[in-house]
A = this chain, B = another copy of it.
Amino acid sequence: MATDIKAALRRQRIETPSWAFGNSGTRFKVFAQKGVPRDPYEKLADAAQVHRFTGVAPTVALHIPWDKVDDYAGLARHARDLGVGIGAINSNVFQDDDYMLGSVTNPDPGVRRKALGHLLECVDIMDLTGSATLKLWFSDGTNYPGQDDLRARQDRLAEALAAVYDRLGDGQRFLLEYKLFEPAFYATDVPDWGTAYAHCLKLGPKAQVVVDTGHHAPGTNIEFIVAFLLREERLGGFDFNSRFYADDDLMVGAADPFQLFRIMYEVIRGGGYGEHIAFMLDQCHNIEPKIPGQIRSVMNVQEATAKALLVDADALAGAQAEGDVLGASAAFMDAYNTDVRPLLAELREESGLDPDPMAAYRRSGYAEKIVAERVGGAQAGWGA
């Protein structure tokens, strides 16, 4: 069994986000950290470190326009030279002043055209980088009841999604992201999985739902959504992070490691592991250093996956069938309570990696090197 689990863990791929290496923060303050990248090339270099020490983070998601370059083929080559590849393309239609009242759902048709243009441009970039996945998140929504027509905004959204869908090439898909609130504070146009699902369903199989683990109302059972979307064959992937309150964007597994385990269990149970489900990180390292923050996050996903793989499926199914509540719970918790760190250390050594990625990165001197070298220029960042 341990052999199977190791084989499964060896297959795992976790995508890091280019923006996690830049500065981030809250509306109150973006704290600047030393050595932070100043362009997409430096971001890829940092992401390559995460893969170097974990061995399971071979692709990097881009964010357009934050990662805009003149030569995307060149950027892709640069990534390859660093040992990584370009992953999903993330569109950004929330940072121009034009988008104050929305992008694709804006009451102004001119703004809608502009936003759609950007989305289509993202597919152009996918063609150039060879990316298979477009991630669509819309901050669109309203702050005050009555501010705009909720239904008309759905019509506008449907129109834009259809145009993007039609533009997708063979082997390309888009993932539609939902989010309860922020930055819209009354009604968000894609607030929950049901809304994203309904839109995707009308378009076809290339439209799938992406679950950002920080985007739900308090008390929402996320693994239920995962199980349900897998059953409906509409789960496209994850934006992993963790939260205690709202969309805190903390390191995945930091706030509720048991929840992460339950999510990974449903992924595996639903046949979503090792398939086309994308495991992406989407986090903000506001106060911790970025590269080790990403390494730790990758390790947290690995640990949750290892525990989920350890669940004794037969024992669990047997207890469930008998209605043995405590027996089923015990079979489930037995896996969660296991310390899988030795197993993962062993796995890393077998793959020629250091068993302790955090310590290995620390010893590598990379952190000191970028602090020394990256002087001058504007650090990458996001938000206002």
Which residues from chain B contact A321 at a C-beta distance below 8 Å?
Answer: 107
Q: How far is the CA of A378 from the CA of B108 in the complex (A)?
A: 28
Q: How far is the CA of A304 from the CA of B148 in the complex (A)?
A: 20
Contact A182 B337, beta carbon cutoff 8 Å = no
Which residues from chain B contact A156 at a C-beta distance below 8 Å?
Answer: none
Which residues from chain B contact A336 at a C-beta distance below 8 Å?
Answer: 257
A223 at the interface (CB under 8 A from B): yes
Q: How far is the CA of A339 from the CA of B289 in the complex (A)?
A: 28
Q: Which of B27, B150, B231, B258 contacts A27 (CB 8 A)?
A: B27
Contact B27 A198, beta carbon cutoff 8 Å = no
Q: Which of A42-50, A83-91, A95-103, A368-376 contacts B (4 or more CB under 8 A)?
A: A95-103
Contact A182 B325, beta carbon cutoff 8 Å = no
Contact B330 A358, beta carbon cutoff 8 Å = yes
Number of copies: 4
Q: Which of B194, B225, B250, B287 contacts A101 (CB 8 A)?
A: B287
Which residues from chain B contact A81 at a C-beta distance below 8 Å?
Answer: none
User: Count of chain A residues with Cβ under 8 Å from any Cβ of B?
Assistant: 107
Which residues from chain B contact A95 at a C-beta distance below 8 Å?
Answer: 28-29
Q: Which of A59-67, A115-123, A137-145, A166-174 contacts B (4 or more CB under 8 A)?
A: A137-145
Q: Which of A7-15, A70-78, A126-134, A183-191 contacts B (4 or more CB under 8 A)?
A: A183-191
Which residues from chain B contact A198 at a C-beta distance below 8 Å?
Answer: 194, 197, 228, 232
Contact B221 A219, beta carbon cutoff 8 Å = no
What is the chain B residue whose CB lies nearest that of A245? B181
A: residues with CB less than 8 A from B are 24-32, 94-95, 97, 99-101, 106-108, 139, 143-151, 154-155, 180-183, 185-188, 191-195, 197-198, 201, 216-221, 223-225, 227-228, 230-232, 243-246, 248, 250-251, 254-258, 262, 266, 269-270, 286-289, 292-293, 296, 303, 311, 316-317, 320-323, 325-326, 328-333, 336-339, 341, 358, 383-384
Q: Would you give 25 A-B contacts (Cβ < 8 Å), ordered by A?
A: A26-B27, A26-B383, A27-B27, A27-B30, A28-B183, A29-B95, A29-B183, A30-B384, A101-B325, A143-B286, A147-B328, A149-B320, A181-B219, A182-B245, A183-B286, A185-B244, A186-B255, A192-B194, A192-B220, A198-B228, A219-B245, A254-B329, A256-B258, A296-B326, A296-B329
Sample of 5 more A-B contacts, CB < 8 Å, known A185-B243, A218-B218, A339-B339: A108-B323, A154-B231, A185-B245, A194-B225, A258-B258
